[in-house]
Amino acid sequence: MNVVIVDDSELVRDRIQKRISELDEIKVTGVASNSIEAQEIIKSSDPDVVILDIKMPGESGIELLRKIKEYYPHIKVIMLTNYPFLQYRSKCYENGADYFLDKSNEFEKVTEILIDLGKLVSTKSN
Mean pLDDT of 22-45: 95
- For helices 10-21 and 109-125, the axis angle rounded to 10 degrees is 50
Q: Which has the higher per-residue pLDDT, 122 or 9?
A: 9
Please write the tens of the pLDDT for every residue from 94-112. Answer: 999 999 999 999 999 999 9
Q: What is the pLDDT of residue 57?
A: 86
Mean pLDDT of 10-15: 96
Mean pLDDT of 40-64: 95
Q: 78: phi > 0 → left, psi -120 to 50 → alpha, else beta; which?
A: beta
Full residue range of the structural domain in which residue 37 is found: 2-125
CATH number, domain containing residue 21: 3.40.50.2300
Mean pLDDT of 41-69: 96
Question: What one-letter code names the amino acid at 12?
Answer: V
pTM over the 0.85 mark: yes
Q: Which residues pair with 5 in a beta bridge?
A: 31, 51
Please write the tens of the pLDDT for every residue from 70-86. Answer: 999 999 999 999 999 99
Domain total of the chain: 1
